[in-house]
Amino acid sequence: MSDVLSPAAAAPAGDGVVSRLIGVVFSPRATFERIVARPRWFAALVIIIGLIALGQFALLSTESGQQAMIDQQVRRTEQWGGTVSDEQYAAIERMAPYGRYFAVGGVIVFVPIVTFAISGIVLGVFNALLGGNATYKQVLAVQTHSGATSVLGMLFTLPLNYLRESMSSPTNLGVFAQAFLDDTNFIARFLGTIDVFIIWWMFVNAIGLAVLFKRRTAPIFWSLLGVYLVLALIYVSVTRIMSGGA
């Protein structure tokens, strides 16, 4: 009898999409080595989008979630220097039950766009500037599977947001500054934009990129973190200026 296996049969055991997403969390380097060798991204992206969309829909289907969304819209308007009149507040309340549909639509549209864009930027930086030779599909596979950390972050924060009636992340560093800094303080606002799960995502992402481009993880991670901090600083500075420096 012939011992030749079909490509499907020759695939390593435990290499399904769920196994890869779990592996990115618990054994990222070994998992990314498999992902880079056989870059697949579509199923992982669909699962991540589906889970995040489902979580948002579930939260915003509750009174607690809808009130949190109302409060968030009012707070954002005030951060950018605007005010919310009684009529505007009433309009926001009337639209609150439909917020879950807008949230799902936003996830379906926004997550792929951001994933594709980041993959293109990363490919350009590493291939054009740093002499890499990866394909866009490989980079996209790394970026997509790194999103497993975002799903875990959502599973952790959604119950807390429901209990707190808040859409703000309970895992941002600003939580630790509440005891000694006012919410309007610049440092408090800056820390409030830095989220622990985003930092974890960057670390996992750095491991995947290090495997793909055969580089050290630490410099990639610190570079990603530096960009994140600069963007957070710009955001807080702009919102502070727009709100009149409050």
Q: Of 7-11, 49-53, 82-86, 231-235, where does mean pLDDT reach its minimum?
A: 7-11
Provide the whole-model pTM: 0.85
Looking at residues 165-193, what average pLDDT do you find? Answer: 82
Q: Which residues contact 61 (CB under 8 A, 6 or more apart)?
A: 100
Q: Residue 59 and residue 153: Cα distance in Å, rounded?
A: 14
Percent composition of the chain: helix, strand, coil (DSSP 3-state, to 5): 75, 0, 25
Beta bridge partners, 172, equal 195
Write the pLDDT tens digit of every residue in 91-116.
889 999 999 999 999 999 999 999 99
* pLDDT for position 138: 97
Residue 172: strand, helix, or coil:
strand
Which residue, chain included where needed, has tokens 């309340």? Answer: 93
Cβ(152)–Cβ(195) below 8 Å: no
pLDDT of residue 14 exceeding 70: no
* pLDDT for position 2: 38
Residue boundaries of the structural domains of the chain: 15-242
> HSE (CB half, 13 Å, CA atoms) of 227?
10
Q: Two tokens at 34?
A: 């498999």
Total residues found in the chain within this entry: 246
Looking at residues 128-154, what average pLDDT do you find? Answer: 94
Q: Residue 96 and residue 61: Cα distance in Å, rounded?
A: 9
Pick the more confident residue, 186 or 202. Answer: 202
- In the chain, the percentage of residues whose pLDDT exceeds 70 is 92
Looking at residues 53-80, what average pLDDT do you find? Answer: 89
DSSP state of 167: -
Looking at residues 195-223, what average pLDDT do you find? Answer: 96
* pLDDT for position 11: 45
* pLDDT for position 179: 67
